[in-house]
Amino acid sequence: MQTGYYAATGGMVAQFNRMDTIAANLANANTIGYKRDQLITGDFARLFKTVQSELPIENQTEAGAQYFNRALSRVPQITDAFTDHSLGALQQTSNTFDLALGKEGQFFAVNTPQGVRLTRDGTFTINDEGKLVNKQGYEVLSADYFQNKTAITFTPQETLVTIDKNGQIMSNVPGTNQMVATKKLMVIEPQNLRALTKEGDNLYKPEASDPLTPITESGSVMQGFIEKSNVNAVNEMIALVEANRLVGMYQKAMDSQMNDLNRDAIEKLAVARK
């Protein structure tokens, strides 16, 4: 069996996956609140040495043992994928309903047809019904939503709106400049960031077992700001060039395995000697 050919093939597939991820990051370099994805490349032999004393199935079952009863190879493969939740740069817009979160791992909550979803994109607006919504028109949830199921709404007479660092909304009494507390934004800090699933539209699906308990004092809400993507376009372009070159190298290795080595085998090893 030409193990070198299969190793090169596996390496090429891994780089194709890297290129797909890098392309997605670059496409969202200007998406507000976007968090870059990253892949980790390894090989099975190295993984085996790292965890050879552990089995992936609880109670060291026979099914778990079968996981390791396979031929070890050094074929490069994607061993893990994760989302980098580090903060992006904050940009001031001075818009009343542009909101950013100044701490990692915190999210606004919106109500979608598929259920509650989380987002870092705080470019909110008021719809025709006076409700606070995001770009897709999904209602932005208040801290007491799970108890009262009521939306954050504003009347045309509420011309002054302020939102403090904990998400408390203050608006003026109609016809005056007196400010009173109304609703409070729901800010969520998931128990396990790795369990979040990206769903498109810059939304995350939380783990089903996560209680989604609102933070009482988040201290991170910034009114009049947006959080830009944490994608560094220069670094992503460098990684894209690297992945592209590796694909070319693997292609040459595959060509050598299939053509040069096979030709030598046919011309030299298979010669019938008298």
The tokens for 247 are 């694909």
> Is the domain of 160 the same as that of 265?
no
Q: Quick check: helix, strand or coil at residue 91?
A: strand
Rounded Cα–Cα distance for residues 141 and 153 (Å) = 10
> Is the domain of 57 the same as that of 69?
yes
Backbone angles phi, psi at 52, to 5 degrees: -65, -20
> Is the domain of 216 the same as that of 257?
no
Does any domain span residue 238? yes
Quote the domain boundaries for residue 147: 90-227
What is the separation, in whole angstroms, between the first and last Cα of the chain?
Answer: 28
How many independent structural domains does the chain possess?
A: 2
Model pLDDT for residues 31-49, shown as the tens digit of each residue? 999 999 998 776 655 555 5
Does any domain span residue 274? no
The tokens for 225 are 């700001």
> Is the domain of 236 the same as that of 264?
yes
> Is the domain of 56 the same as that of 120?
no
Pairing relationship of beta strands 76-83 and 37-43 according to DSSP bridges? antiparallel
> Is the domain of 201 the same as that of 236?
no
> Is the domain of 187 the same as that of 242?
no
What residue type is 219 in one-letter code?
G
Does any domain span residue 8? yes
Rounded Cα–Cα distance for residues 33 and 119 (Å) = 8
pLDDT for the residue 63: 53
Could you tell me which of 144, 169, 164 has the C-alpha nearest to residue 154?
169
For 110-141, the three-class secondary structure string (H helix, E strand, C coil) is EEECCEEEEECCCECEECCCCEEECCCCCEEC
> Is the domain of 197 the same as that of 212?
yes
**Segments of the chain scoring below 50 in pLDDT:** 67-72
Does any domain span residue 12? yes
> Is the domain of 104 the same as that of 189?
yes
> Is the domain of 135 the same as that of 258?
no
Rounded Cα–Cα distance for residues 119 and 102 (Å) = 14
> Is the domain of 162 the same as that of 235?
no
Does any domain span residue 110? yes
> Is the domain of 101 the same as that of 13?
no
Strand partners, 225: 92
pLDDT for the residue 5: 74
Residue ranges with strand state E in 10-106: 37-43, 76-83, 90-92, 99-101
pTM: 0.78
Cα torsion 190, 191, 194, 195: sign: negative
